[in-house]
Amino acid sequence: MVETLRLMAVHAHPDDESSKGAATMARYVAEGHEVMVVTCTGGEAGSILNPAMDRPEVLENMGPIRREEMRRAAEILGIEHRWLGFVDSGLPEGDPLPPLPEGCFALVPLDESTPPLVEVIREFRPHVIVTYDENGGYPHPDHIRCHEVSIAAFEAAGDPDRYPELGEPWQPLKLYYSHGFSRKKLVAFHDAMLARGLESPYDEWLKHWDDGKPDVIERVTTQVECADYFPQRDEALKAHATQIDPTSRWFAVPLDLQREVWPTEEYELARSLVDSTVPEDDLFAGVREKVITG
């Protein structure tokens, strides 16, 4: 018996879903499960990171262009998609850091930004939610706010006394943080590239790595094998043409080497209302048994 399960990934900007866990989502879609990405902001304040797209008319229309990029990426991954409708805060730079723009996502009070996500959770009824850790994966104000909103909504969605006007309560069973490049993963790719006589794109990155900083791999509880879906992940990334340079180091490691050396995507189990023993290899571990057996 195959039970249809539902996974929701909550992200800060369009393109985050393709760089964090995209192959996992594509795998679960291929297995017949339902996957939805919720994007908190429109990415309006994003910079153009692909030189081929660095044109005035693109910069002037970043909002509509990034919405279309997100539509194409969702189509490639086979996922459902929802916008929460908040405004991109931008990444403040300088010393001292400038204030965030008024009305941006990171400054919206949690009691205003949480209800829209609660409503989508109650509509889609995910068994599992994936978001960022308390550091946002990296310290972008929207990523940190995305974490806070996701936690608040996870806790509120199943409570019948909170936001009763937003639909029937629904309690997700597990919450994960996605984790990207760890030092261990970079070293594995770096060594494998050199062993093949190829130039490593991570040489400078590793030379300047802060050895006093804990490796995020130490927090990982769950590794999902999804190597067969790396091509879909890459195509979804390329759909975000303003943000992804197809000649960048994102694509420097050959797919066959990636499949051989590191065929998984990594997660940290942060909340669980089902029995599941870590380490895991499935975001639905424990959920399948509960849903099927009731």
Q: What's the CA gap between 138 and 149, in Å, rounded?
A: 16
SS3 state at 25:
helix
Whether the pLDDT of residue 106 is over 70: the answer is: yes
Is 203 annotated in a binding site? The answer is: no
Residue 1 banded pLDDT, cuts 50, 70, 90: very low
- What integer is the mean pLDDT of 33-47? 96
Whether the pLDDT of residue 253 is over 70: the answer is: yes
Supply the DSSP string of 50-82, one letter for each residue. Answer: -GGG--HHHHTTHHHHHHHHHHHHHHHHT-EEE
Question: The whole model's pTM is what?
Answer: 0.95
Question: Alpha helix (H) ranges present in the chain?
Answer: 16-19, 22-30, 56-59, 62-77, 110-124, 141-156, 183-195, 203-207, 230-239, 255-261, 287-293
Q: What is the mean pLDDT of the chain?
A: 95
Whether the pLDDT of residue 255 is over 90: the answer is: yes
Domain regions of the chain by residue span: 6-180+220-254+265-293
- Candidates 31, 7, 285, 3; CA nearest to 172 is 7
Four-point Cα dihedral 49, 51, 55, 61, nearest 10: -30
- What integer is the mean pLDDT of 141-147? 97
Is 240 annotated in a binding site? The answer is: no
Is 16 annotated in a binding site? The answer is: yes
Q: What's the CA gap between 225 and 24, in Å, rounded?
A: 8
- Domain spanning 6-180+220-254+265-293, CATH class: alpha beta
pLDDT for res 293: 62
- What integer is the mean pLDDT of 24-44? 97
Q: Per residue in 153-173, pLDDT tens?
A: 999 999 999 999 999 999 999
Over its C-alpha atoms, the chain yields an Rg (Å, rounded) of: 19
The β-bridge partners of 268 are: 177
pLDDT for res 290: 85
